[in-house]
Copies of this chain bind each other. A is one copy, B any other.
Amino acid sequence: MQRMTRQRSAVADVLDAVEDFRSAQQLHEILRDRGEGVGLATVYRTLQSLADGGEVDVLRTADGESVYRRCVRRGHHHHLMCRVCGATVEIDGPSVETWAAQMGAQHGFEDIDHTMELFGTCARCAAEGHRREGS
């Protein structure tokens, strides 16, 4: 059903090596820099199939770009992502799940699902930004 090609394992390797969420294009560049050229279309196709299989997490940045990451946590969880460098922390939000369920019930909604992501500027990027502003 799914062949193991040089390209597919190259993409998987990069996803294992990189910690943060990266766009398809960034991954494509990384692969090129590594000397393992993989067509951009193939990167997209591979990421999509990995995402379908639940092997990578996908989310969309504020400007509508899809970013991918191999997550440690397997089940449902949320992310706190640096909007500058993409550094990501996986977090649990039990209180949020409870609240979501309550809200749903309160308005007569069933099968409540939710999306929730946190964005911020990580300590390192914040420091860099302040330095640049001369403050």
Secondary structure of the A contact surface, majority rule: strand
Contacts of A91 in B (CB 8 A): 103, 107
Closest 8 CB pairs of A and B: A109-B120, A108-B123, A116-B116, A112-B120, A110-B126, A114-B118, A113-B119, A110-B121
Stoichiometry (number of copies):
2
CB-based contact A99/B96 at 8 Å: yes
Question: A122 at the A/B interface (Cβ < 8 Å)?
Answer: yes
Q: How far is the CA of A114 from the CA of B78 in the complex (A)?
A: 11
**Shortest distance between the CB of A31 and any CB in chain B (Å):** 24
Alpha-carbon distance A116/B103, docked complex (angstroms)? 13
Please provide the chain A residues from 78 to 117 with a CB less than 8 Å away from any CB of chain B in the complex.
Answer: 80, 82-83, 89, 91, 93, 95-96, 99-100, 103-104, 107-117
